[in-house]
Structure 1
Amino acid sequence: MYFFENRFMPKNEVAVSPDDRGYYFGDGIYEVFRVYNGRLFEAEAHFERLVRSAEGIRIELPFSKEEIHSILNKLIDMNHISEGTVYMQVTRGAAPRVHPFPAGAKPVLMAYCNEVKRPLQTMRQGIAAVTMEDIRWLRCDLKTLNLLGNVLAKQHALDQGADDVILHRSGTVTECSASNFFIVREGKLLTHPANHLILHGITRMVTLRLAHEFGIPVLEEPFAVQDLRLADEAFITGTTAEITPVVRIDGKPVKDGVPGPITKRLQDAFEQAIQWSEADDRKTYIKSAID
């Protein structure tokens, strides 16, 4: 089942207008929520980012955060999703193709679920990455539908026999095609600051929070492609990737070419965070049912 415009319906009944501005301008925003044990993970952080993205491109959400939350929870239940993702997007709506914002267009919400298993094998073994110049637009902090640059970057990695790219702007490392990027050097985490050049990832946020809880020093500051050669560990963070080690960069091993101890410690902590979140959500669900 999908949610489209204002109702739930089977996928084959969803009819997107060819005049929808998301179709020909990429004029819209989106979020991908992780589902564990049938519940949205870090939902409030996702909704905060959704609102920020909407404000950033001046789209009025067609429903409140609370209403969208209810819609997504119902989708999960209707599709019987225990472990997976919920994708949702909001476009500016259908209107004749002109560049200025159309006065009469009504924003359109669409959402659906997928079963997606945790990438446990990849998380244990790690992935290979290649470096590539970051030529995307300069508002990467807004989660918009304009993803062609990310698509080309991902395909570039696959064409090189790698799993992902590590993007950089004139030698300064930013992020990956669909995830944030960290290195570990001398016991410290390094990652690009959360400004307009990277997406403010939810899993990135959780990882930083866990690092602080465990007393792992964190430096949110720019670092160079050359610093990758000096990294003791490297990993990506993302909604579906969770915390995945990067063990080869540009064909060369990161340190010993295996996931490092700090990465593993953060993976274990993230596993616990999932379990705590599930327990807290169940308590909230039970309390609301009683009330």
Structure 2
Amino acid sequence: MQRQIYLNGSYVPEAQALLPIFDRGFLFADGIYEVCAVIDRRLVDVDLHMKRLVRSVGEIGIALPVASAEVVEIMKELVRRNRLVEGVVYMQVTRGSAERDFHYADDLKPNFVAFTQDRKIVTPKLSTGISVDLQPDIRWQRRDIKSVMLLAQVLAKHEAGKKGFNDVWMVEDGFITEGASSSAFIVTKDGRIVSRANSQAILPGCTRLAVLRLAEETGLLLDERPFTVEQAQDASEAFLTSASSTVTPVVRIGECVIGDGKPGPLTRRLQAIYLDQAMKGEPLFALDDAVSLGASA
């Protein structure tokens, strides 16, 4: 069965899902994307992702081509059609297609594409932890907008991989901003969870916000403030969050081992709370005939 793609109002097999070469997302990275996790047939944090999608397109003046409620239904339908048990739904909205020109007409019709990706979200890394490289943050100044302009992150992740790291955290003026595709957290030696406050310097992470809310409801101590590389490497625990990695322990930052080199108790507690919350929704289809893309459910 070919994967079904949503493209500008229709569900089509992926071989037929084609965009014009004059799409401004292709020519100028003039577009927005959003990613929502699927765990055991359930969409996770969908309301948070929809709010961020609406905000991002608004920040660059693109009209969302369908209503927010319809976008949610499109995601659900893609999960059902593709029998996605675990993975992500990717959505992208570009300004539209026109002859290549920096200037654009205000009445361009946006292009909207969405597809599923079969991917393990709950992986052994959640139990063992990962290492993150440190690299200069060379991205543009509006990192709060979830732009498809990701070249800096692509290069940073590739370089980190060549050096043997699992991921990378970005550094600006001695402070960690965020991961290349995640939010960065540390836990101080007195048990406080520290995460940089939202601003134009970082993307407002949906999983980050969900974790902060759950931590507050649980009575954990929170500080929203910048932290330096040295503070991160001296922390008792560290972790990152994103839709595709939930709450992932970080056990090495650069060449410094964090704590005892194993996921810390507070990180593991947040993992459990978050995954428990993610599993409370109703599955989008029954498992009797469910087959994940390329693997049995």
Return the TM-score normalized by structure 1.
0.93
Work out the number of aligned pairs and report it: 282
Structure 1 residue 104: Cα displacement: 4.5
**Aligned pair partner of 1:142 in 126, 136, 145:** 145
Which protein, 1 or 2, shows the higher relative CO under an 8 Å CA cutoff with sep ≥ 6? Answer: 2
1:19 aligns with 2:22: yes
Return the TM-score normalized by structure 2.
0.91
**Aligned pair partner of 1:210 in 214, 219, 222:** 214
CA deviations on 1:249-289 (whole Å, 9 max, x unpaired) are 1122102111111001101111211122348x99xxxxxxx
Equivalent residue letter for 2:22: D
Rounded to whole Å, the distance in 1 between the matches of 2:72 and 2:279 is 21
Structure 1 residue 66: Cα displacement: 1.2
**Aligned pair partner of 1:125 in 121, 125, 128:** 128
3-state DSSP class of the match of 1:174? strand
Structure 1 residue 105: Cα displacement: 2.1
Whether the aligned pair in 2 keeps the contact of 1:154 and 1:165 (CA below 8 Å) is yes
Rounded to whole Å, the distance in 1 between the matches of 2:19 and 2:231 is 46
3-state DSSP class of the match of 1:263? helix
Counting aligned pairs with the same residue, the percent is 38
Whether the aligned pair in 2 keeps the contact of 1:33 and 1:46 (CA below 8 Å) is yes
Aligned equivalent of 2:224: 220
Equivalent residue letter for 1:2: I
3-state DSSP class of the match of 2:165? coil
- 1:240-259 aligned at under 5 Å gives the runs 240-259=244-263
Structure 1 residue 241: Cα displacement: 0.8
Equivalent residue letter for 2:82: N
RMSD: 1.7
3-state DSSP class of the match of 2:158? helix
CA deviations on 1:177-218 (whole Å, 9 max, x unpaired) are 110000000200111111111111111011101110121111
- 1:183-198 aligned at under 5 Å gives the runs 183-185=186-188, 186-198=190-202
CA deviations on 1:103-130 (whole Å, 9 max, x unpaired) are 4421010011112222320010000111
Aligned equivalent of 1:268: 272
Structure 1 residue 86: Cα displacement: 0.5
3-state DSSP class of the match of 1:273? helix
3-state DSSP class of the match of 2:169? strand
Whether the aligned pair in 2 keeps the contact of 1:37 and 1:278 (CA below 8 Å) is no
CA deviations on 1:158-186 (whole Å, 9 max, x unpaired) are 12110111111111111011100000002
Rounded to whole Å, the distance in 1 between the matches of 2:253 and 2:56 is 32
Aligned equivalent of 1:165: 168
Whether the aligned pair in 2 keeps the contact of 1:36 and 1:278 (CA below 8 Å) is no
Equivalent residue letter for 1:208: L
Whether the aligned pair in 1 keeps the contact of 2:196 and 2:227 (CA below 8 Å) is yes
Aligned equivalent of 2:6: 3
- 1:71-150 aligned at under 5 Å gives the runs 71-150=74-153
Unaligned runs of 5+ in 1: 283-291
**Aligned pair partner of 1:40 in 40, 43, 54:** 43
List structure 1 segments (4+ residues) > 4 angstroms apart after TM superposition: none
Equivalent residue letter for 1:160: K
Whether the aligned pair in 1 keeps the contact of 2:40 and 2:279 (CA below 8 Å) is no
CA deviations on 1:24-61 (whole Å, 9 max, x unpaired) are 10000011111123232111111110000010010011
Q: 1:206 to 1:103 in 2, by over 3 A?
A: closer
Structure 1 residue 226: Cα displacement: 1.4
Whether the aligned pair in 2 keeps the contact of 1:126 and 1:246 (CA below 8 Å) is yes
Whether the aligned pair in 2 keeps the contact of 1:17 and 1:94 (CA below 8 Å) is yes
